[in-house]
Amino acid sequence: QDGKTPCLHADALEQLGFKIAIYPSMLFRIAAWAMQEELARFKREKGYAPDDDRMAFAEVQDIVGFPWYYEMEEKYRA
């Protein structure tokens, strides 16, 4: 991951005796790349079609836990 510590495959780390490994920048780097790609596409196409093949907003809500937040909102509503 371009740092001082070599980025070893999980199998190699397991052989060295490690039980847990963290890859702190992996998801951030992937997300940043995807955002850059989508912004370039948006600029090139001057917008986006609501029915394109990207993740639906309902899927995003599920991934980030909106159902749980809605449940808590109902539970603790004044």
Q: Tokens 């780097």 — which residue?
A: 29
Confidence at residue 22, expressed as pLDDT on a 0 to 100 scale: 85
Indicate whether 42 belongs to any domain: yes
- CA separation for the pair 31, 60 (Å, rounded): 14
What is the structure's pLDDT at 75?
92
pLDDT for the residue numbered 8 = 86
In this structure, is residue 1 part of a structural domain?
A: no
CA distances from 27 to 7, 17, 22 (A): 14, 24, 11
Q: What's the one-letter identity of residue 51?
A: D
Domain assignment of residue 53, yes or no: yes
56 within some domain: yes
- Low-confidence residues of the chain: pLDDT under 50: none
**How many structural domains are present in the chain?**
1
Domain that holds residue 36: 10-75
